[in-house]
Amino acid sequence: MRDAWRRGRTPSPAAAELMSGAIRALANGDGPAFGRFVERLTERPGMPGWTTMVDRCLAERLGQGVTAAWRRGWLPADVVRFVSRRRTARHARLVKDAIAGEMRAYSPATVDDRWRDQLAALKAEVWWTDDDAHPAHWCDRETAARTVYITCALELIHLLEALPRLPAITPPPGTASGSAGPRGDAPAAGWAGVDQRTLGRVRALLAKAESTEFPEEAEALSTRAQQLMARHSIDHALLAAEAGDTGGPDGRRIAVDSPYDAPKAVLLTVVADANRCRAVWHRELGFSTVLGFPADLAAVEMLFTSLLVQATSAMVHAGPRRDTRGRSRTRSFRHAFLNAYAARIGERLREAAGEAADSAAASAGGKDLLPVLAARDRAVDQAVDTMFPNLAKGRAGSVSNHEGWVAGRAAADLASLNGRSEVTGAFRGS
CA nearest to 179, candidates 167, 169, 192, 168: 192
In this predicted structure, what is the pLDDT of residue 393?
Answer: 67
3-state secondary structure of 113: helix
One domain, residues 53 and 128? yes
In a domain, 190, yes or no: no
d(CA 34, CA 23): 8
Residue 70 has pLDDT above 80, yes or no: yes
d(CA 419, CA 205): 10
One domain, residues 82 and 138? yes
Among 137, 161, 185, which residue terminates a domain? Answer: 161
Tens digit of each residue's pLDDT (9 = 90 or more) over 391-413: 876 555 554 454 544 455 555 55
Q: How many domains does the chain have?
A: 2
Domain interval for residue 33: 4-161
One domain, residues 98 and 247? no
pTM metric for this prediction: 0.81
In this predicted structure, what is the pLDDT of residue 395?
Answer: 56
In a domain, 313, yes or no: yes
One domain, residues 138 and 217? no
Tell me what the mean pLDDT of segment 31-51 comes to: 93
One domain, residues 32 and 146? yes
Partners of 225 in beta bridges? none
Q: Specify burial of residue 216 (Cβ count, 10 A radius: 0-12, 13-18, 19+).
A: exposed
In this predicted structure, what is the pLDDT of residue 209?
Answer: 64
Tell me what the mean pLDDT of segment 136-161 comes to: 98
Banded model confidence at residue 198, pLDDT cuts 50, 70, 90: confident
Tens digit of each residue's pLDDT (9 = 90 or more) over 14-24: 999 999 999 99
CB 194 within 8 A of CB 298: yes
Among 161, 181, 215, which residue terminates a domain? Answer: 161
Q: Assign 3-class secondary structure to 263-296.
A: HHHHHHHHHHHHCCCEEEEEHHHCEEEEEECHHH
In a domain, 167, yes or no: no
One domain, residues 271 and 414? yes
pLDDT top residue among 208 and 59: 59
d(CA 111, CA 108): 5
DSSP 11: P
In a domain, 180, yes or no: no
Q: 55-64, 181-190, 347-356, 360-369: which range is least confident on average?
A: 181-190
In a domain, 409, yes or no: yes
One domain, residues 209 and 114? no
pLDDT top residue among 46 and 225: 46
One domain, residues 128 and 202? no
In this predicted structure, what is the pLDDT of residue 69?
Answer: 97
In a domain, 47, yes or no: yes
One domain, residues 90 and 138? yes
One domain, residues 236 and 358? yes
Residue 420 has pLDDT above 60, yes or no: no
CA nearest to 163, candidates 288, 289, 285: 285
In a domain, 270, yes or no: yes
In this predicted structure, what is the pLDDT of residue 263?
Answer: 92
In this predicted structure, what is the pLDDT of residue 372?
Answer: 87
In a domain, 285, yes or no: yes
One domain, residues 309 and 262? yes
Q: 59-73, 151-165, 205-219, 408-422: which range is least confident on average?
A: 408-422
Tens digit of each residue's pLDDT (9 = 90 or more) over 101-130: 999 999 999 999 889 999 999 999 999 999
Among 118, 146, 161, which residue terminates a domain? Answer: 161
Q: How far is CA 269 from CA 282, 298, 345, in A?
A: 12, 14, 11
One domain, residues 230 and 144? no
